[in-house]
Amino acid sequence: MTDLISGPDTGAIAASEPTEVLPPGDDRPVEWALTDPAPKKRRLGLWIGLGAGAVLLAAAAASLILIAPGTTIAGVAVGGMTPGMAADAISTRIATTEVTLSGAGAGAQLSGTDLGASVDAKALAEKAFADRPMWNLGQWMGSSIDAKVTLDPKTAENALRAAVPDSYTDPVDAGVSFDASSAAYKSTPATDGSGIPVAELEKAFTRATEKGATTLTFSGDAKPVEPAITDAKAAAATEKLNGMLASIGFYVGEERTVPVAPAVAASWLKVTDVDGELKITADQSAIQTVVATLPGLVDRPAVNAVNVIDSKGKVLSEVTAGLDGRSLGDTAGIASAFATQLGDGKASFALPVNSTPFETTTVFRRLEVDISEQKTYLYENEKLVRTWKISSGLAGTPTPLGRFKVFAHTAKQDMGCFEGASYCTKDVPWNTWFAKDIAFHGAYWHNNFGHRMSHGCVNMPPSVAKQVYDMTPVGLEVWVHA
């Protein structure tokens, strides 16, 4: 059998038996036995498949974090961006957009940053991603998303003033002040100023970004600028304050128990401009000085009512009106609470009080005329309280006897002054009528009391007649006897 010799790089396997060495001159042919190489697996298709899968996986992953292609926000193309990248791009665009002034400010340029321009880029980008994620093919190439650009008023005005100072004249606010001579608040008129309207520039800036523009032109010419505190605002504040002055005070129920004078109230109140609105505030410490005096002004004892009645218990008149007693409650916190109320425009403060009800007593009051003694007696609860000398009717014109009731009063009356009368007395005072044409009244023409003198009436000194007039309500019982 021919030996197989493994040559270099043949891949042959050496024989297990030693190879015979040919002697010199041996011309026998030698054969090389080439080993077949082990077959290799073909992996090209696998690598191609893996690459395509990885691309698809990457694309799928990207579609979950990116905004759909074709999406624009405030003129900025954000398709294919993450929300964070989109927010940065929007903010950068707004900050770098340039405004070129024309007119009085010709040539001046201001950036969005100079003007304090801003949008809520983060919220816009996040909403765009939520509404238009890349994986949703139906949201690709959607309509532009507009965003309102806002300019910081103070930043923008300062930049515009620096660029075009001649376009600015400061307006004068309307004012409100207390006038001591009239004890009322009055307003002073406002004066318009001039400037470049920031609100109009803000709208123009927004329109430009909606169109995708990075520059815009705006007039630097002066326009009227209304003051923050207008005449209308000052007039409204003045009306409110004067309304407060009309009712300001400390109340017990509906009663303004402790009024506050307008000048004092004005010393409490302050009117200030807060972001273009007039705000009313009150000085708590000044209010406290009045609060300290309240107990002496509010506290009072009860006053019992006294009523005049007839013999059947019917009330004829009120001698003394009943009045509940009261004492002021806890005053801690009153000054603070009232200051807060005044700031809200409410000028009546309800005080905390403890009440003591009054009691009612009655007096049965009657008059008795003794013709024989020429005296009149006043009884209360059948106790004699007054006695007066009188002059009753003469024999020819006697005072009628019997039991009567007071039915009317006249402060002054002419008597007997009619055609055919035997006498005429003018201006007879304090008439208390108890029978037809018969009354208790004052007699200024004589001083002979204790004796019969009249035409039937009961004469009394005028001062006594006034007492009877005041103490005898309609319905009071009168007994005339001999």
Alpha carbons 270 and 366: distance in angstroms, whole number:
62
- CATH number, span 248-356: 3.10.20
Tell me which of 12-21, 360-369, 403-412 is least confident: 12-21
For residue 132 the two structure tokens come to 């238009």
State the CB neighbour count (10 A cutoff) for residue 47: 9
Q: Select from 127, 119, 148 the least CA-distant residue to 71.
A: 127
State the pLDDT at residue 271: 97
Rg, Å, the chain Cα set: 56
Q: Report the pLDDT averaged over residues 150-158.
A: 96
**pLDDT-based confidence at 42, cuts 50/70/90?**
low
Share of the chain above pLDDT 70, in %: 87
**pLDDT-based confidence at 422, cuts 50/70/90?**
confident
Alpha carbons 436 and 368: distance in angstroms, whole number:
18
Name the DSSP letter for residue 416.
Answer: S
> Residue 341 corresponds to which amino acid?
Q
Half-sphere exposure in the Cβ direction for 124 (13 Å, CA): 25
Model confidence over 433-477: pLDDT tens digits? 999 999 999 999 999 999 999 999 999 999 999 999 999 999 999
> Between the ranges 76-90, 114-128, 342-356, where is the mean pLDDT highest?
342-356
Tell me which of 2-16, 64-78, 189-203, 231-245 is least confident: 2-16
Residue with tokens 């190439």, as numbered in its chain: 141
For residue 284 the two structure tokens come to 């708590």
State the pLDDT at residue 22: 46
Going by their DSSP bridges, the two strands 325-328 and 348-350 should be labelled as unpaired
Taking each continuous run of H as one helix and of E as one strand, the counts in the chain are 12, 29
Domain with CATH 2.40.440.10 in the chain: 363-481
- The secondary structure of 252-318 as a DSSP string is ETTEEEEE--HHHHHHHEEEEEETTEEEEEE-HHHHHHHHTTHHHHH-B--B-EEEEE-TT--EEEE
Predicted confidence (pLDDT) at residue 62 exceeds the cutoff of 90:
no
For residue 380 the two structure tokens come to 């209360």
Length of the chain: 482
Q: Report the pLDDT averaged over residues 224-233.
A: 94
Q: Report the pLDDT averaged over residues 199-205.
A: 95
State the pLDDT at residue 34: 45
**pLDDT-based confidence at 92, cuts 50/70/90?**
very high
Alpha carbons 457 and 439: distance in angstroms, whole number:
5
Model confidence over 63-86: pLDDT tens digits? 688 999 989 998 899 998 999 999
Alpha carbons 167 and 218: distance in angstroms, whole number:
14
State the pLDDT at residue 419: 87
> Between the ranges 146-150, 151-155, 209-213, where is the mean pLDDT highest?
151-155
Model confidence over 181-192: pLDDT tens digits? 999 999 999 999
The Cα diameter of the chain in Å comes to: 210
Predicted confidence (pLDDT) at residue 141 exceeds the cutoff of 60:
yes
Residues with Cβ within 8 Å of residue 320, at least 6 apart in sequence: 303, 304, 305, 306
State the pLDDT at residue 65: 87
CATH number for the 363-481 domain, one of 2.40.440.10, 3.40.50.880, 3.90.1170.10, 3.40.50.970? 2.40.440.10
Predicted confidence (pLDDT) at residue 60 exceeds the cutoff of 90:
no
The answer to whether the CB of 230 falls within 8 A of the CB of 176 is no
Model confidence over 96-112: pLDDT tens digits? 999 999 999 898 999 99
Helices (H), 99-221: 112-115, 121-131, 153-163, 198-210
Domain with CATH 3.10.20 in the chain: 248-356
**pLDDT-based confidence at 43, cuts 50/70/90?**
low
Alpha carbons 134 and 229: distance in angstroms, whole number:
51
**pLDDT-based confidence at 314, cuts 50/70/90?**
very high
